[in-house]
């Protein structure tokens, strides 16, 4: 019996290895997401908000329009505008309308947003190491490669 079957208290075998693999990925992602949410809660941000801040830090001073932020999210959300609204109210993000094309609103991380990422960095590194740090580098690279292949072969994969 697999670790997943024991965790889910599954009494019968999974119908297929594919189903077990998909459920294992979902279970692992859910547990990792829960731990990340618990870590970020005292900082007053969610994992998705953290993801946006990292995206905007990476974009540099030019920032990004909403649609580009949405395209780069690890876990896409339905209403990126509302997500950016909240980050703006928290003074972690600033937005400005383009003078060339008034339809385009660019989001940029603020100094306060950068400070938030700095505060979260050390505890996040500890969390990541506790989650996967005991797995060898070779096996982590293999896992990354397999997950890359799964996403590449998924019909709804976005590039």
Backbone dihedral region for residue 124 (phi beyond 0: left; psi -120 to 50: alpha; all else: beta): alpha
pTM of the model: 0.88
Sign of the Cα pseudo-torsion (61, 94, 106, 97, in order):
negative
Output the six-digit token pair for 79. 């209403």
Give the model's pLDDT for residue 32.
Answer: 95
Q: Closest by alpha carbon to 125, among 39, 3, 16, 58? A: 39
pLDDT tens, residue by residue, 9-61: 999 989 999 999 999 999 999 999 999 999 999 999 999 999 999 999 999 99
**Are the C-beta atoms of 91 and 110 separated by less than 8 Å?**
yes
Give the model's pLDDT for residue 29.
Answer: 94
Give the model's pLDDT for residue 159.
Answer: 54
Output the six-digit token pair for 159. 């590039």
Give the model's pLDDT for residue 101.
Answer: 77
**3-153 under CATH 1.10.10.10, yes or no:** yes
């Amino acid at each position: 019996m697999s670790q997943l079957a024991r965790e889910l208290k599954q009494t019968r075998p999974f119908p297929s290895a594919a189903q077990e693999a998909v459920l294992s990925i979902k279970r692992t992602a859910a547990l990792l997401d829960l731990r990340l949410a618990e870590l970020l809660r005292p900082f007053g941000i969610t994992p998705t908000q953290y993801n946006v801040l990292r995206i905007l830090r990476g974009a540099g001073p030019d920032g990004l329009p909403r649609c580009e932020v949405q395209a780069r999210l690890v876990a896409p959300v339905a209403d990126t505008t509302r997500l950016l609204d909240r980050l703006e109210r928290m003074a972690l993000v600033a937005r400005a309308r383009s003078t060339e094309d008034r339809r385009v609103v660019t989001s940029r991380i603020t100094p306060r947003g950068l400070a938030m990422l700095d505060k979260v960095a050390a505890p996040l590194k500890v969390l990541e190491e506790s989650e996967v740090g005991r797995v060898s580098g070779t096996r982590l690279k293999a896992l990354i490669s397999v997950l890359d292949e799964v996403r590449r072969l998924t019909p709804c994969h976005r590039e």
